[in-house]
Each structure stands twice: as structure tokens, then as C-alpha cells.
Amino acid sequence: MRKYVCEWIGTFFLMLTVGCCVIAPPPGVVAPLAIGSALMVMVFAGGHLSGGHYNPAVTLGVWLRGRCSIQDLVPYWIAQGAGAILASVAAQAIKGNVPVVRMTLSVGPALLAEFLFTFALVYVVLNTATAKGTTGNSFYGLAIGMTVMVGAFAAGSVSGGAFNPAVAIGLGWIGLIAWPNLALYWITELLAGAFAAWIFLGLNPKDR
């Protein structure tokens, strides 16, 4: 249960930061920096308890890689989804009734961006936080947070920069992404997580 609570807390504060940045966005480069930093500090805070996934695609990749039990897979997803929804409600309460302009997506580019940067995120997580060659390092949280920051800078305007099925749910709740598009985000992001695990195991056969 401690692991699930940790996943809930980490996903909550990640999504709270995303939500507050989406509702009445701050000027300039603040949003990607804030979101990447929020993930970084939550990974450092909870990595020793739950692995610091805060993302169903990461949990899927870690399970396929062999570092998460099948018994934890669905409870992690439930905790992450619940954290994202409650954080979206909290962000709306903090920011007030500020209208959110729904993104007009070009579906192909948006899904490609979500796939590539979700792949990058899960690939970085597996190599920095689960590989035998990087055991005990002190930089994994920074690497993970900066991956999301890079993705938000590069593709946030194209896809919303979710790279995370739980965050996609939160963005749908807030109104940035249309609900019918969420299934496409989930499928794309989970496939990216699975592909990252496959590539990781191919490049690191001793970690099987």
C-alpha cells in the first residue's frame, strides 16, 4: 500500500503542476521547466519506495523489463489515474474559472510526438533507474525530469506534451484535449513504453 500511496502523491503533484501551467499559462519558458522539475523532485522523493513511475507507460515498461510485479501493475495504474484526476480538480480550484482553449490537434504529428517522447522517457527511466550498470547512481531523477522538460519544449505545442496516460487523463479533465482523442493517446503512449522495454532488453541482455 505504501507504494501505491507514493505513486498517487507523485502523480498528483506532477499533474497539479501541469494543470496550473495549462490553466492561464505562465509566460515564456516557465511551464516546461516547472513540469520537468516537478517530476524530478517527485522521482527523487519516491523512487526508493515505489520506483517513482508516476506514469502508466513507465510502469508497463518496468514490468516488461522485469522490475515490477504483475500484482502491482493495475494498482499502480489506478493510483496514477486517481492522482491525476484529483490534481486536475485541485488545479481548477487554485486557478479559478479561467477558460482553457482546447487544442486543435493534427492527429498524426501529435501521436508521433507522443510516441517518440514517451519512448524517450521510458528508455531513460529503464537505463538510469533499473539497469545494472547504473545501480546506485544519484542522477536518475534529474535525467528523468529533464527528458520530460525536453519533450515539453520540443512538442508541447503539437500534442500537449503529455507523454503519460495519466497526464493525458488530467488534460482531458481540464479540457485541453478532447475526450475522444484520449484513447489514441493511451494506446500510443503504452505502445511506446512497451517498445522502450523491448529496446532496453535488446541493448542490455545481461539485465534480462
Distance spanning both ends of the chain, measured CA to CA: 27
Provide mean pLDDT across the span 188-199.
Answer: 98
pLDDT of 83 strictly over 90: yes
Q: What is the CB neighbour count within 10 angstroms for residue 184? A: 16
Provide mean pLDDT across the span 89-102.
Answer: 89
Give the tens place of pLDDT for each residue, 112-171. 999 999 999 999 999 999 999 999 999 999 999 999 999 999 999 999 999 999 999 999
Residue 64 confidence (pLDDT): 97
Q: Which residue has the cell 522523493?
A: 45
Provide mean pLDDT across the span 179-205.
Answer: 96
105 or 11, greater pLDDT: 11
102's CB contacts (< 8 A; 6+ apart) are 175, 176, 177, 178
Contact call for residues 21 and 30 (beta carbons, < 8 A): yes
CA distance 122 to 114: 12
Q: Which domains does the chain have, with CATH numbers?
A: 2-207 (1.20.1080.10)
Angle between helices 165-174 and 56-65 (to 10 degrees): 170
CA distances from 108 to 57, 91, 153, 154 (A): 20, 29, 19, 16
Provide mean pLDDT across the span 100-118.
Answer: 93
Does the pTM exceed 0.85?
Answer: yes
pLDDT of 13 strictly over 90: yes
pLDDT of 28 strictly over 90: no
Residue 106 pLDDT class (50, 70, 90 cuts):
very high
